[in-house]
Amino acid sequence: LSSSSTYTVPPSVLLLGPDNAGKTALLTLFERGAKPSATHTSQVSHSIELNASTDSVTKASFRNHDDATGTHTKFFLVDTPGHGKLRNVAMGKLARTEKTKAVVFLVDAAALGEQETLAPTAAYLYDVLLFLQKKATSKGKDKASIPVLIAANKMDLFTALPATMVKAHLETELTRIRASRSKGLLDSGVGIDDVGSEEQDGWLGEYGSEKFTFQQMGEFDIDVEVLAGSVLTEEPGADKWWWWIAQRI
């Protein structure tokens, strides 16, 4: 190839989150532009190519993908399996996908009020955020601050927590996880001013803070936002998530 015809890989947006959150349903919704299709538990990753319109009046809607009148940005949307036993598949995508521009972490807002859903969801999110924090502070050529959308799905169900509660529940649980993972460090009697950078590297968010907040990820230029939506119903639908993605690719 001559140097004038440079081949560019479209950016990727990764769909992460626990099993049953609605990742595959969301992918099929964006792909079809209409009703999502029935899904099964995913065992492998799957990516599709989409276009986000940037200059038409419909740019805020995912239905713009079949509007050919405007200028489009091409990107890959990558679905991953959420099952805990396949976590290496999803984390591998996070580690290896070239040009990842954003992560959409889907959660089931209707089940997040239950500790049995909240605990594994937060544990997974903790691993993702810590990975991104390390990536943002690394000195290599892979250094990047990747924004995260926490997409609170299934708002059509009456048990669904509103976005503010989803955020609060996750922050509380992430605080708990952070405390238990750093217990060895705190028990050793070393003051927080004395610890080495290695310990600090394993701490999510603002070092030594009592409570974890998503805002602390801002220290690493990682923007974390929580937005409510639904894949299966028109209202509130998935347009807000689409618009969040479209602005980051």
Going by the DSSP 8-state scheme, the letter that residue 94 receives in this structure is H
The 199-238 contact track toward ligand GTP, x by CB under 6 A, reads: -------------------------------xxx------
Q: What are the backbone dihedrals phi and psi of residue 243, each rounded to the nearest 5 degrees, phi first?
A: -65, -40
Residue 24 engages ligand GTP in binding (rule: CB under 6 A): yes
Tell the smallest beta-carbon distance from residue 80 to ligand GTP (Å): 7
- Which of 12, 42, 51, 100 forms a contact with ligand GTP (CB under 6 A)? 42
* CA–CA distance, 182 with 132 (Å, rounded to integer): 18
Q: Which is nearer to Mg ion, 92 or 162 (CB)?
A: 92
Contact 170, 105 (CB under 8 A): no
Q: Using CA of residue 201, residue 205, residue 208, residue 210, what is the dihedral sign?
A: negative
Closest distance between Mg ion and the C-beta of residue 192, in Å?
A: 41
Sheet holding 100-108, edge to edge: 46-53, 72-79, 12-16, 100-108, 148-153, 224-228
**Residue closer to ligand GTP, measured from CB, 136 or 232:** 232
DSSP run (H or E) holding 37: none
Residue 91 interacts with ligand GTP (CB under 6 A)? no
Measured CA to CA, the distance from residue 156 to residue 140 in angstroms comes to: 44
Q: How far is the CB of 114 from ligand GTP (least distance, A)?
A: 15
In angstroms, the CA 125 to CA 114 distance is 16
Among 168, 201, 164, smallest CA distance to 182 is for 201
From the list ligand GTP, Mg ion, none, which binds 25 (C-beta under 5 to 8 Å, kind-based)?
ligand GTP
Nearer to ligand GTP, 89 or 185 (CB): 89
Given Mg ion, ligand GTP, none, residue 154, with its beta carbon under 5 to 8 Å by kind, binds ligand GTP
Cβ closest to ligand GTP, residue 102 vs residue 231: 231
Contact window for ligand GTP (CB under 6 A) among 81-89, 133-141, 169-177, 220-228: 81-89
| Site membership for ligand GTP, residue 128 (CB under 6 A) | no
- Closer CB to Mg ion, residue 90 or residue 170? 90
> Do the Cβ atoms of 243 and 227 come closer than 8 Å?
no
- The phi, psi pair for 138, rounded to 5°, reads -70, 160
- When asked if residue 53 is in the footprint of ligand GTP (CB under 6 A), the reply is no
Q: 72, 73, 20, 13: which is closest to 47 by C-alpha?
A: 13
Give residues in contact with ligand GTP (CB under 6 A): 17, 19-25, 39, 41-42, 81-83, 153-154, 156-157, 230-232
